[in-house]
């Protein structure tokens, strides 16, 4: 985090590491998820869409290379000198046999100007064999692994049907940390029944587990999800844009200075979003956070207590 930054963003981190703009190319690697295909449960997490939480990635009918090509063509006019991170986003990207995983990761890494790979998965899909494969990639490229935790509170985890307990996350973190593999936790803010202290506790918990990065976002209610049905029958409170700005600006102060913030507001697809519609105005939210933090003299780590 530089002196002028209020928080440590992924963009700044990657620019300083690679010396240029680095952009994620989102890949749908054709995976499934044990929380949807019946091996653990059917239906999946209550908020999960048909795309498996990856609304902006490539078309799974296309090859990985073609998906990356399509996205890089759109980006190269604006950022001709940029490098790429191959981001396996949709569904559970370690949920396959080792040969198939290796083939998919290798195809992505072979794409021109790719400097690393990011893999989104579940903590209960990290077998010894998968960990060993990830360790191999970690030794030859820049790698991070994303875990969809969302909350540390078991009551909320049951409500969202996450399908694993906190101890499973702890074990995954222990294993990944022991292999020196970078981790990113996904956290959803404004989950029903959670107040500021509950969300702060979640952030303090992941900090104590030495998570490398965090993705924060307002709860999005997507159409055709079970969360939509729940929301329509029992309208729980959704914060306004200004309330979210105040919430996240304060929460960031509890994060350790070195934690890389990958996201502070979500990227909903207009046509699939039911509520809150203000999340589509990303510029308003990002500018609002900057303004609120400066006005109130807030910055990442201001209230962080090292309790490790
Ligand atoms: S783990 Fe991810 S892909 Fe699986 S159901 Fe939950 S959000 Fe969807």
Q: How far apart are CA 251 and CA 239, in angstroms?
A: 15
The confidence score (pLDDT) of residue 267 equals 73
Paired with 88 in beta bridges are: 27, 119
Q: How far apart are CA 163 and CA 158, in angstroms?
A: 7
Closest by CA position to 206, among listed 183, 224, 190: 183
- In this structure, which residue's CA is closest to atom 4 in ligand 1? 33
- In this structure, which residue's CA is closest to atom 5 in ligand 1? 44
- What is the position in ligand 1's atom list of the atom closest to the CA of 44? 5
Q: How far apart are CA 189 and CA 192, in angstroms?
A: 9
- pLDDT, one tens digit for every residue, the chain (308 residues): 665 789 999 999 999 999 999 999 999 999 999 999 999 999 999 999 887 666 667 789 999 999 999 999 999 999 999 999 999 999 999 999 999 999 999 999 999 999 999 999 999 999 999 999 999 999 999 999 999 999 999 999 999 999 999 999 999 999 999 999 999 999 999 999 999 999 999 999 999 999 999 999 999 999 999 999 999 998 789 999 999 999 999 999 999 999 999 999 987 788 999 999 999 999 999 999 999 999 999 999 999 986 55
Contact 292, 249 (CB under 8 A): yes
Integer-rounded Cα radius of gyration of the chain: 19
Start-to-end CA distance of the chain, whole Å, equals 21
CATH 3.80.30.30 for domain 10-307: yes
Contact 63, 54 (CB under 8 A): no
Q: Domain-by-domain residue ranges, the chain?
A: 10-307
Rounded distance from Cα 43 to ligand 1 centre (Å): 9
Q: How far apart are CA 156 and CA 192, in angstroms?
A: 7
Rounded distance from Cα 79 to ligand 1 centre (Å): 32
- What is the position in ligand 1's atom list of the atom closest to the CA of 162? 6
Rounded distance from Cα 6 to ligand 1 centre (Å): 31
- In this structure, which residue's CA is closest to atom 7 in ligand 1? 48
Closest by CA position to 274, among listed 218, 219, 217, 221: 221
Model's pTM, two decimal places?
A: 0.96
Token pair belonging to 13: 């981190």
Rounded distance from Cα 225 to ligand 1 centre (Å): 12
Q: Which residues contact 286 (CB under 8 A, 6 or more apart)?
A: 264, 265
Ligand 1 pocket (Cβ < 6 Å) reads: 33, 35-36, 44-45, 48, 52-53, 91-92, 122, 148
Q: How far apart are CA 263 and CA 250, in angstroms?
A: 15
């Amino acid at each position: 985090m530089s002196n002028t930054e209020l928080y440590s963003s992924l963009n700044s981190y990657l620019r300083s590491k690679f010396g240029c703009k680095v952009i994620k190319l989102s890949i749908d690697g054709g995976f499934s998820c044990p929380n949807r295909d019946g091996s653990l449960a059917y239906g999946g997490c209550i908020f999960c869409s048909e795309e498996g939480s990856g609304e902006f990635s490539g078309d799974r009918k296309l090859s990985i290379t073609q998906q990356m090509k399509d996205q890089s063509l759109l980006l190269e006019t604006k950022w001709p000198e940029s490098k790429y991170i191959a981001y396996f986003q949709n569904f559970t990207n370690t949920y396959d046999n080792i040969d198939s995983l290796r083939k998919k990761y290798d195809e992505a890494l072979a794409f021109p100007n790719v400097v690393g790979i990011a893999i989104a998965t579940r903590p209960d899909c990290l077998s010894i064999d998968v960990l060993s494969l990830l360790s191999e990639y970690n030794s030859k490229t820049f790698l991070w692994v994303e875990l969809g935790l969302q909350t540390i509170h078991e009551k909320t985890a049951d409500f969202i049907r996450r399908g694993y307990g906190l101890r499973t996350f702890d074990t995954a973190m222990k294993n990944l940390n022991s292999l020196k593999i970078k981790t990113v936790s996904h956290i959803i803010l404004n989950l029903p029944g959670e107040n500021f202290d509950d969300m702060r506790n979640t952030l303090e918990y992941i900090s104590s587990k030495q998570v490398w990065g965090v993705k924060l976002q307002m709860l999005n209610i997507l159409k055709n999800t079970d969360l939509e049905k729940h929301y329509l029958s029992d309208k729980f409170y959704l914060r306004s844009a200004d309330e979210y700005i105040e919430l996240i600006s304060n929460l960031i102060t509890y994060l350790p200075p070195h934690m890389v913030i990958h996201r502070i507001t979500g990227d909903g697809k207009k046509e699939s979003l039911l509520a809150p519609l203000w999340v589509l105005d990303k510029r308003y939210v990002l500018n609002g956070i900057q303004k609120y933090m400066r006005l109130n003299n807030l910055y990442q780590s201001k209230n962080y207590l090292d309790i490790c």
